[in-house]
Structure 1
Amino acid sequence: MLEHDIIIVGGGLAGCRAAVEIARKNPSLDVAVVAKTHPIRSHSVAAQGGIAASLQNVDPEDSWKAHAFDTVKGSDYLADQDAVEILAKEAPDVIIDLEHLGVLFSRLPDGRIAQRPFGGHSHNRTCYAADKTGHAILHELVNNLQRNGVKVYQEWYVMRLILEEGQAKGLVMYHILDGEIVVLRAKAIMLATGGYGRVFNTTSNDYASTGDGLAMAAMAGLPLQDMEFVQFHPTGLYPAGVLISEAVRGEGAYLINSDGDRFMAN
């Protein structure tokens, strides 16, 4: 039976970033990531447009408060405003930290990180790496996983959690390539398994976005919150489900119907 101090289920941006942070802050811990695909093939690679942060590189009038207001307004005032405040305040430091990890963001002529307009934002605050932001971040996170000695089980599917006296003590997984079943023990388990867009007929989510982690949590008796909030990307090719980056609208593109009318204008 294999054992690690901490197991993170999910090899996307959230899972890889968590693993890197734990490993570099606590190098004595044995950290592992279990992913259904190679991390750079996770659905996070489809995050093309960028990340909002009030760096003020392009618009000196921007602020974390303006970012927070835009976020709450964009949520139709349903967002957890305490969480939004933390996000808006910490976003600039997160961008700088990602740069220190090796992420190559697009630059302004003076060398600072470029920022462009995005839908719903009152200032130019979106940091990006050309049209491959998700891929650029994942690539460097995987490099940092290797640098910090994090074990990555790629192409392993987690079937269920092992519970003992109400606590998760491990998991059962099988190797997608050959069907081998393995039990992993751990002192702590983190779920970072993404969404469940593939339950819908038409979606820009990849085929791995099937909600496995949410199902495991529910089967373990854990409450799930806000399950009705499912992100549908506002621009995609129907019926193929191919995503068209939000950046095209941020750069000035219009949504028009077959008659050439801007049907979202009002």
Structure 2
Amino acid sequence: MPSHDVLIIGAGLAGQRAALAAAQAGASVAIISKVHPVRSHSVAAAGGINAAVSVDDDWRSHAYDTVKGSDFLGDQDAIEVMCSEAPKEVLHLEHIGVTFHRNDSGQLDLRAFGGASVKRTAYVADITGQAILHVLYEQLMKHHETVDRYEEWFVTSLIKDDSGACVGVVARDIRTGRMETFAAKSTILASGGAGQAFKPTTNGLICTGDGIAQAYEIGAPLMDMEMIQYHPTTLVENGFLITEGARGEGAHLLNGDGERFMEKYAPNKMELASRDVVSRAEQTEINEGRGAGPNKEGIYLDITVVPKKRTLEALREIVNIGKDFAGVDITEEPILIRPGQHYIMGGVKTDVDGQAPGIPGLYAAGRGRLRLRARRQPPRRELAARHAHLRPPGRRARCGARPARRDARGR
């Protein structure tokens, strides 16, 4: 029976980054993935990664944008950790080989993303996830003596001992069908969301919610399972993701009448309002009969307003997707899109260090969560008071309070 200090289920960006950190700390590590690691769904993360790396930016501004974009429902302790550590993490990724795009002066180039008050998205054209995934896998090769990779193994269940602690998993070798028990002092779930429960979805066929279900079966609490994020721009035909980077480069959204309708819903941010606002606006246009396409079931994403040279440089994969899946040259004509399910915002409940309450030894990680840390965070009210200067004049702190829901106009 294989035994390790740290067992990680899932080999996407979260799983590989956790494995690399654990290996560098001297732990023996096993990483189990039901597909080859570089085929993990993180390969589909296209547009970039947010961090306040610009001299004109500040992590506190990033934190406020994140809190505001979550309708003040986000865990502000976790947001503080994520935003304050993001610049260091992006620079670390670049130092280990991620070829982030640079501008003419040699600095990291940054593009605008929805909900951000400044440009703060570092990117590798529109294949950012793929680029980071390959670099992390390459780095794991350096730790082959302490990191065991079980590629194309499927975890069927988590194991608890008599004291209620998670002590490992049962997994199946997909190629042979052989079952094996893996023992571990700590088990990290990084197996992704449950996108295949929805249609349309940007998620790959492997995103079936295995880790969430397995944790629930052994008594781990779940939270925010109703929080499902829709992405504004997915292909009408199949839900294939059209990166937010397209709007970040200046693409327009047009309804069936040719109107740039976001002016009605978010006149300040336009197409770069937060995803929920843009998705609701699009669906409102479709529901009220102003949709585009033969059946008025979509919205036009007009990338022709972006200089062709820039499109071919920064959105080259989307050019290929348009031709291959929609038969459209996006440099010459708009492409038909609609909102599609993108993120599962909820999952296994954890504290700010990623540990599941009540089940020692079980942790959860993901693109929306944090890698394991070893410091205590301040209480949420203390954090809100510390950053009170970030709130707009007249707005009071809402620590944990649920605000009134916004309509399609974001009000």
TM-score (norm 1): 0.94
| 1:114 aligned residue | 109
Alignment of 1:133-148 (within 5 A): 133-148=128-143
| 2:177 aligned residue | 179
Q: Check whether the contact 1:106–1:130 (CA below 8 A) recurs between aligned residues.
A: yes
| 2:123 aligned residue | 128
Q: Given residue 177 of structure 2, which amino acid in structure 1 is its aligned partner?
A: G
User: Aligned-pair RMSD on alpha carbons?
Assistant: 1.3
Q: Given residue 6 of structure 2, which amino acid in structure 1 is its aligned partner?
A: I
| 1:234 aligned residue | 232
Q: Given residue 190 of structure 2, which amino acid in structure 1 is its aligned partner?
A: A
Structure 1: distance between partners of 2:182 and 2:59: 42
Alignment of 1:73-222 (within 5 A): 73-149=68-144, 150-165=147-162, 166-222=164-220
Cα deviation for residue 76 of structure 1 reads 1.4
Secondary structure of 2:253's counterpart equals: coil
Cα deviation for residue 231 of structure 1 reads 2.5
Secondary structure of 1:8's counterpart equals: strand
Q: Given residue 109 of structure 1, which amino acid in structure 2 is its aligned partner?
A: D
Of 25, 33, 36 in structure 2, the residue corresponding to residue 35 of structure 1 is 33
Query: Deviations along 1:237-256, whole A, 9 cap, x unmatched?
Result: 12401000000011111222
Cα deviation for residue 261 of structure 1 reads 2.6
Q: Given residue 65 of structure 1, which amino acid in structure 2 is its aligned partner?
A: R
Structure 2: distance between partners of 1:25 and 1:65: 29
Structure 1: distance between partners of 2:81 and 2:194: 26
Alignment of 1:6-17 (within 5 A): 6-17=6-17
Query: Deviations along 1:186-216, whole A, 9 cap, x unmatched?
Result: 1211111111111112101001111100001
Figure out how many residues of one structure are paired with residues of the other and give that number: 261
Secondary structure of 1:122's counterpart equals: coil
Structure 1: distance between partners of 2:8 and 2:178: 20
Cα deviation for residue 91 of structure 1 reads 0.9
Q: Given residue 154 of structure 2, which amino acid in structure 1 is its aligned partner?
A: Y
TM-score (norm 2): 0.62
Structure 1: distance between partners of 2:230 and 2:193: 11
Query: Deviations along 1:36-66, whole A, 9 cap, x unmatched?
Result: 111111111111111111111xxx4321121
Cα deviation for residue 172 of structure 1 reads 0.9
Q: Kindly name which structure, 1 or 2, has the bigger radius of gyration based on alpha carbons.
A: 2
Structure 1: distance between partners of 2:127 and 2:6: 30
Q: Check whether the contact 1:202–1:239 (CA below 8 A) recurs between aligned residues.
A: no
Gaps of 5+ in 1: none
Structure 1: distance between partners of 2:175 and 2:40: 17
| 2:382 aligned residue | none
Between the aligned residues of both structures, percent identity stands at 50
Cα deviation for residue 232 of structure 1 reads 2.2
Structure 2: distance between partners of 1:243 and 1:253: 15
Gaps of 5+ in 2: 266-411
Structure 1: distance between partners of 2:254 and 2:74: 29
Structure 2: distance between partners of 1:80 and 1:30: 31
